[in-house]
Structure formats: C-alpha cells, structure tokens
A = this chain, B = another copy of it.
Amino acid sequence: MTTPNHPADRLLHAVRAKAAPVCVGIDPVWETLPPTLQATASPATASSISVAITSFGLGILEAVAAHVPCVKVQSACYERYGAPGVFALQRTIASAKQLGLEVILDAKRGDVGHTAAHYATAVFGELDAQLDTADWITLNGYLGADAIEPFLRPGRGAFVLVRTSNPGGDAVQSACMQSGLTVAEHVAGMVADLGDSVLGECGYSAVGAVVGATKAKDMAALRARMPRQIFLVPGIGAQGGTPDDVKPCFDDEGAGVLLTASRSIINAWQQHPDRDWPGVVSDAAARLADETGQLAGWR
C-alpha cells in the first residue's frame, strides 16, 4: 500500500500504524541539554549551541521514532540562535522525515497574501523542490482565511490555533459573542468552513485545530463545531490537562486527535542521571505511546 498524500490521511495512517495518537514535541533549550551535549558547545556561541541542539534533536528522533508517528518541532527554540539555528531546524526536520516521521513545524505564523506565501515557502520549500520539509505547520487564524490558504499546498496541512492552553488565552478566546458563541467557537466555525474544501479520504481535513487540553470544558463544544478537524492537543501532563479531559474528542474509531508531549519526554533523562539519556527518552516515548494508544482504545 502506498502512503497517502493527503496530509490528514497520511497522518492518521501513521498514527494508526504506531497505535499511538501522539507526537513528541522537540523544544531544545540549551540550558537544559544533557550535560554531555551541553559540554560540546564551548565556548557557547549561536553556532556551537546550534550544533549541540541539532545533536540533541537527532538523538531524540532516533529514540522516539520506533514508538510515535509524529514529532512537533518548535521553531522558536531554533530561531533564537539566528541563521545557524535555522540551519539546525532544517536539518532536524529533514532527519525526522528520513526516519519516516510525520513532522509538524510549530511556528504559529499568521500573515496575509504575499507574505503568507513567503512563509509557506520558508516552511514547505519551493513548490518544485524535493526537499524534506515539514508536513504541517501551526498557524494563527486571527487574520482570517487568506492567512491560511497559502499553506494548503498538495500534501501539506495546517493546524490553526483555536483554543490555546495558556492562561492568557481566555482574555480573547473565552469572550462571548452576540451569537452566544465564544470567540474560540467563532474561529472554530471559520476553520471548519475553510477545512471542508480540503478533506481527505479519512473524512478529516488538511486544516486541523489546536485545542488545549487545559480547556477541557470547551473541548466538546469545539468538537461539535469542528467534526472534520484533527485536534492537535497540547497541555496534557505538566500544564494540567488529563487524558480523561481529551477522551470525548476522539471519534468512534479512536481517530481525530493528536496529543502532544514535550518536556515530559525530551527531559525524561533528568530523572535518571545514572543512565544514558537516549535510552531513558526512548522508554518514556514507549510509555507515552502505550498510554495514548489505550486512550484511543487501540491497546
């Protein structure tokens, strides 16, 4: 069977193959790298740190690739080191693709027209190139559909921020509209409408939604308004969301949700300073796959 080319078909195919509806977030932070890697960047410059976070990222990818279908790479952690950081980001994404992982670039871009097209090229490469670039990007929907459409290239998808997991998100997203909806639910309607034009065979769209697990009371209403969006769900664990909060978002076949876990996996080695860090990370990813696979009813 060939790999499907619609991004939602491909992602759900990968998720099902690993029986793990989860992605590992790669957010490398120089100050919290394993000591052996941190020591390789001396003196600590943008270039030497970029090499160190590349090594860390590649180690994470190799440790988790057997267990999870997807990784979410945090653009900011690389951008902070300027040009060498961006090179490290591209290298990390290409390596993830070579390992057969689906890749989400968490960049939360949001701009219009020409500018959105420039960002789309930055993220997904030139249309005629065969580079290994990300499969999905996260986007901000405040500017409307024309900030999202340039990213909907063949084979690529976008997760639009609908309900974020941070405390400050309430100030805008929970505000009540004249229609009785919250702003987040209003944005959800826009996302659903836009997504209907790019459905995959699986029934899900190339336009997904970011819905934080910390906003459990909102999740059911958002699912009702966005039945064809894959939910990218941060906030489980460290941020306070629980698996039970997320359960109602899965469809009858256990699909439609991609949980994210970052620090609990990539920093798992901190709990076991006596062991080699990639082994600890691999074990943590295996447990994560098991727990989330059970949540979907697949294990």
| Pick from B27, B80, B121: contact of A80, CB under 8 Å | B121
- Residues of B close to A196: CB separation below 8 A: none
Q: A140 interface residue, CB < 8 Å from B?
A: yes
B-contact 0/1 string along A170-197, CB 8 Å cutoff? 1111011111100100110010000000
Which residues in window 109-148 of A have CB below 8 A to B?
A: 109-116, 118-119, 121-122, 140-147
Whether B168 pairs with A112 at a CB distance below 8 angstroms is: yes
Whether B145 pairs with A110 at a CB distance below 8 angstroms is: no
B-contact 0/1 string along A3-23, CB 8 Å cutoff? 000000000000000000000
Interface residues, chain A, with chain B CB atoms under 8 Å away: 27, 29, 74, 76-77, 79-87, 90, 108-116, 118-119, 121-122, 140-147, 161, 164-173, 175-180, 183, 186-187, 190
Given A79-B122, A80-B118, A176-B177, 19 further pairs, Cβ under 8 A: A27-B115, A74-B118, A82-B122, A83-B83, A83-B84, A83-B90, A108-B109, A110-B110, A110-B161, A112-B165, A113-B166, A141-B172, A144-B171, A145-B168, A171-B190, A172-B183, A172-B187, A177-B177, A177-B183
